[in-house]
Amino acid sequence: MTADSPAESLARLAAERVDHRFKGLPPDADGLTVGELAAQRRNLFTGGFATPVLALSAERLEHNLRLMETYADRHGLAFAPHGKTSMAPQLFQRQIEHGAWGITLAVPHQVRVARAFGTRRVFLANELVDPAALRWVSAELDADPEFRFVAYVDSVRGVELMDAALGDARRPLDVVVELAAGEGARTGVRTEAECAAVADAVAGTRSLRLVGVAGYEGEVPKADPERVTAWLRRLVALAAGFDEAGRFTDVDEIVVSAGGSAWFDAVADVFAEIPELSRPVLKLLRSGAYVSHDDGHYRKLTPFNRVPEEGALEPAFRLWTQVVSRPSAEQAFVNAGKRDAAYDLDLPFAQVIRRDGAERPATGVSVTALSDQHAWLSTTPEADLEVGDWVGLGLSHPCTSFDKWPLIPVAEADGTVVDYVRTFF
């Protein structure tokens, strides 16, 4: 399967019919195409949407896209945002339109989604050893000269399995050695000597080509600026050592890649120190959570908090729920729970209450627990909350927010829904 153009593939999304698969959408929209529904520009609050319904802020989404484009340009970084955060081809395309080099993904299914919607460059931040998936990637490379695919390798055994699956592939598969973030971290090669052994194994194959080094600083144990910086300097030194040893003579550029959403300021600082190598260096940042940002985990950890003059990301998600029970003055329940809201890092945050078209802060209201389809609210005496009120919740950790909503309205500040984002998890 070769990739369609982005315009052709996204047109297919607009032609999809709205029905029971897509929660929160107006029941009377069944049978319309997504494009037809978007053209109606219904209002999120008065246009028949049913709670719970997750919405993306159109203005904040655009702000975040522009901010990271400017940031990458300012620091001389190529940008391959981690698409597993959203798994939304429309957002992939908007990120590419805002200067992204390509999209980072984690597993073969995600690559198939990206290819089906026209993505030409993919960085797979994982070692790929499944033979069927490797053969599929190889066929994609053969069929599309414009397709660029780079994957991790983190073991000699993995290299052997990849080579056995790929056989006499016409185009070699580009790989980067993954340097682990430390003992007890997640994946990756633990020592520089082991990295060299993996690189030697790659050199001994016909189906793989070593193009650089990479890793994920977010896994540094007890991460702080000093520890993260020290690990990034190890990564840069590994690239320089490989280059000095002549390991990159067959490539046009050397890939050096890192960058989650918590420490990309450290990545920018250390990558600015990369010495001149024998080939141009593709300094590839992979932060992905920025696209929607959040009201919890990343809002507390964003590098823009440490370097405020660089700008500020804005939380773009709000989950609209409705009060369905008010059993006491101290307690209330809304109709959204674990099926609807991210909860793996922080509980949702009660932000606003909407009644009779007017919004006010959710003073005295907090989320204390989630059941499958309910959020438990604690209410203090100053909380003005009634059955039927809409409660807008902020969410933490976008990676597990997108995966619960296959079609997400994109709403302007006045509630006008201007688009719908389709996700594929």
Q: Locate 250 and state its tokens.
A: 């067959």
Q: pLDDT tens per residue, the chain (425 residues)?
A: 445 678 888 999 999 999 999 999 999 999 999 999 999 999 999 999 999 999 999 999 999 999 999 999 999 999 999 988 899 999 999 999 999 999 999 999 999 999 999 999 999 999 999 999 999 999 999 999 999 999 999 999 999 999 999 998 999 999 999 999 998 899 999 999 999 999 999 999 999 999 999 999 999 999 999 999 999 999 999 999 999 999 999 999 999 999 888 999 999 999 999 999 999 999 999 999 999 998 887 777 789 989 999 999 999 999 999 999 999 999 999 999 999 999 988 999 999 999 999 999 999 999 999 999 999 999 999 999 999 999 999 999 888 899 999 999 999 999 999 999 999 98
81 occurs within a structural domain: no
The model carries a pTM of: 0.95
Token reading at 357: 């078209």
DSSP 96-158: HHTT-S-EEESSHHHHHHHHHTT--EEEEEEE---HHHHHHHHHHHHH-TT-EEEEEE--HHH
Enter the tokens of residue 318. Answer: 């709000």
User: How far is it, in rounded angstroms, from Cα 56 to Cα 290?
Assistant: 13
Give yes or no: residues 180 and 278 share one domain.
yes
Domain with residue 416: its CATH number is 2.40.37.20
Question: Residue 172 is part of which domain span?
Answer: 120-287
Task: Mark whether 161 and 225 lie in a shared domain.
Answer: yes
Q: Are residues 274 and 347 in the same domain?
A: no
Rounded CA-CA distance 246/177 in Å is 15
280 and 320 part of one domain: no
Q: Are residues 279 and 345 in the same domain?
A: no
Same domain, 192 and 336: no
Decide which of 231, 252, 287 is a domain's last residue: 287
Q: Is residue 110 part of a domain?
A: no
Same domain, 277 and 145: yes
> Looking at the structure, do residues 127 and 40 belong to the same domain, yes or no?
no
Q: How many domains does the chain have?
A: 2
- CATH code of residue 145: 3.20.20.10
Is there a domain that residue 13 lies in?
Answer: yes
- 174 lies in the same domain as 266: yes
Identify how many contiguous H helices and E strands the chain contains and give both numbers: 13, 18
Residues 278 and 397 in one domain: no
Q: Does residue 86 lie within any of the structural domains?
A: no
Q: Is residue 296 part of a domain?
A: no
Cis geometry, peptide bond prior to residue 52 (ω within 30 degrees of 0): yes
Residue ending a domain, choose from 250, 269, 287: 287
Q: List the one residue out of 210, 196, 208, 287 whose CA is nearest residue 238.
A: 196
Q: Are residues 268 and 180 in the same domain?
A: yes
Say yes or no: 141 and 47 in one domain.
no
Name the residue with tokens 């060299």.
Answer: 196
